[in-house]
A and B are shown apart, each in its own frame.
Chain A
């Protein structure tokens, strides 16, 4: 079935380091792909999205490219800040039973950025 596999954490980086969080998916169709971020004590917020192959989503210095050939949607940021410390979730929308679409999330990756 359709699923999302996300790099396990936790990930600890120093400020200004380069960040990559890997995300791969399996899907029978052509899902849209999302990255969500959850700051401590808060709900999830959409960080970026891509709706078709080769699309690049970007926001707040984060980027991810929808790669159909490798079924991946890796999240990257060139220089992380302490304020980026959060849990990051990769997600896709897939067809559920009865043809209803739903968002399915990866297991989340905890990122801690040290000053």
Chain B
């Protein structure tokens, strides 16, 4: 049973499109995150939710909008996709903010 699962695993789309990535965790954790990993493997936090409440919102274009319908889900919606959005996006969860995190398998987004 996968602890943190995100879908889709691969996403290829054209510039200007809108897309969503879904994430679910079955660990009973209170905190969920979205990270972006660039081509050089650098990881940057984008958002963090604790009990459905946004607690970290790093400098990210407002084309990116997270939504947490409940504690176990954190989705990422991206409007008007740009070439520079191509990256691997990781969802993660932890028992509390800043505790050890469990990561999903990643979504490789390619914007063409």
Residues of A within 8 A of B (CB): 32, 34, 38, 42-46, 49, 87, 89, 93-94, 96-98, 100-105, 107-108, 110
Interface digits, B32-49 against A, CB 8 Å rule (1 contact, 0 not)? 010000001111010010
Q: How far is the CA of A69 from the CA of B18 in the complex (A)?
A: 49
Known: A87-B41, A102-B56. A43 touches B90 (CB 8 A): yes
* Contact of B90 with A44 in the complex, beta carbons under 8 Å: yes
| A87, A102, A107, most chain B CB atoms within 10 A | A102
Report the 4 A-B pairs with minimum CB-CB distance, sorted nearest first: A101-B98, A93-B98, A43-B103, A100-B55
* Contact of B41 with A94 in the complex, beta carbons under 8 Å: no
Interface of A is mostly: strand
**Residues of B in contact, count (CB < 8 Å):** 25
Q: How far is the CA of A34 from the CA of B94 in the complex (A)?
A: 14
Given contacts A34-B100, A103-B94, 6 further A-B contacts (CB under 8 A): A89-B43, A102-B48, A103-B33, A103-B45, A105-B43, A108-B41
Question: Which residues of chain A are within 8 angstroms of B45 by Cβ–Cβ distance?
Answer: 102-104
Which of A49, A89, A102, A110 makes the CB contact (< 8 A) with B100?
A: A49
**Closest chain A residue to B108 by CB distance?**
A41
Q: Name the distance in Å between B96's Cβ and chain A's nearest Cβ.
A: 8
Q: Name the distance in Å between A80's Cβ and chain B's nearest Cβ.
A: 19
Q: Name the distance in Å between A18's Cβ and chain B's nearest Cβ.
A: 24
Which of B42, B97, B103 makes the CB contact (< 8 A) with A100?
A: B97
| B43, B50, B56, most chain A CB atoms within 10 A | B43
Known: A89-B43, A107-B42. A44 touches B103 (CB 8 A): yes
Question: Which residues of chain B are within 8 angstroms of A34 by Cβ–Cβ distance?
Answer: 100
**Closest chain B residue to A109 by CB distance?**
B41
**Closest chain A residue to B106 by CB distance?**
A43
Question: Which residues of chain A are within 8 angstroms of B94 by Cβ–Cβ distance?
Answer: 103
Q: Name the distance in Å between A55's Cβ and chain B's nearest Cβ.
A: 14
